């Protein structure tokens, strides 16, 4: 797996911002930490020692603390005064609730997208879907994962609602550490693709209710898949 060129987007949802701006130390550190949490290099429950991490990243504690505060606001870490921040480890119940909300948010995106996506956005979504078909044949989970994110992001954007995009992406990021393993369960890739197909068709038909319901099911299946993997059911 290749190293990502840049970290997670801006905390409050991808302000475009010419984007080749010189980053502050705090932003760099935040991106690195967020990536490490999201793709599992830092496990839930793990404490983050300020002095230690600051030293290892070659910055002082000041920007590191600001980064940790941002992560706390994103829900990726939890802080208590005079204690080390720890990577968030939600209870199974809380995780279920988050998946449920995620399903509703994505369903809303899909519904709005079915009503409002522009022609070029629809075309783009089809292209992504075709790409997923090709990757499916190679059975390459990590490659599939990347394009899968794009598929969902394209639908978010299709809702034409920047705030909805913001909170949906934020929720998705927060759940990332717990969705990572889903594509490793047998046959999940193929099932995922079929579900995407139903969503795509509904959106292209402009069928809001069907798009929403297909998406809702898709996300809740992801949750099932996680719970199965994690041995929670």
8-state DSSP, 3: P
Is residue 20 within the footprint of its own copies (CB under 8 A)? no
CA dihedral for 92, 93, 99, 102, sign (positive or negative): negative
Residue 2 or 20: the one with the smaller Cβ distance to its own copies is 20
Residue 77's H or E segment, with its range, is strand 77-78
How far, in Å, CA of 37 to CA of 55, rounded?
19
Is residue 11 within the footprint of its own copies (CB under 8 A)? yes
Residue 84 or 124: the one with the smaller Cβ distance to DNA is 84
Is residue 59 within the footprint of DNA (CB under 7 A)? yes
The site partner of 51 among its own copies, DNA, none (C-beta below 5 to 8 Å per kind) is: DNA
Among 133, 162, 230, 232, binds its own copies (CB under 8 A): 162
Is residue 101 within the footprint of its own copies (CB under 8 A)? yes
Is residue 181 within the footprint of its own copies (CB under 8 A)? no
Q: What angle do CA 52, 56, 59 make, to 5 degrees?
A: 95
Among 83, 119, 163, 187, binds DNA (CB under 7 A): 83
How many CB atoms sit inside 10 A of residue 203's CB?
29
């Amino acid at each position: 797996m290749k190293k990502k060129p840049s970290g997670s987007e801006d905390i409050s949802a991808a302000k475009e911002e010419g984007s080749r701006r010189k980053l502050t130390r705090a932003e760099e550190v935040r991106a690195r930490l967020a990536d490490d949490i999201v793709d599992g290099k830092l496990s839930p429950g793990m404490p983050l020692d300020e002095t230690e991490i600051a030293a290892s990243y070659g910055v002082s504690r000041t920007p590191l603390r600001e980064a940790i505060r941002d992560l706390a606001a994103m829900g990726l870490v939890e802080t208590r005064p005079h204690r080390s921040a720890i990577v968030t480890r939600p209870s199974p119940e809380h995780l279920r609730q988050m998946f449920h909300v995620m399903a509703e948010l994505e369903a809303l995106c899909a519904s709005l997208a079915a009503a409002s996506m522009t022609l070029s956005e629809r075309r783009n979504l089809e292209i992504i879907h075709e790409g997923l078909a090709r990757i499916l044949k190679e059975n390459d989970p990590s490659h599939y994962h990347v394009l899968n994110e794009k598929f969902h992001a394209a639908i978010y954007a299709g809702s034409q609602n920047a705030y909805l995009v913001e909170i949906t992406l934020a929720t998705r990021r927060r759940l990332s550490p717990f969705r990572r393993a889903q594509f490793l369960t047998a046959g999940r890739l193929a099932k995922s693709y079929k579900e995407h197909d139903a969503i795509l068709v509904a959106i292209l038909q402009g069928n809001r209710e069907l798009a929403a319901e297909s998406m809702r099911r898709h996300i809740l299946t992801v949750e099932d898949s996680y719970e199965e993997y994690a041995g929670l059911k």
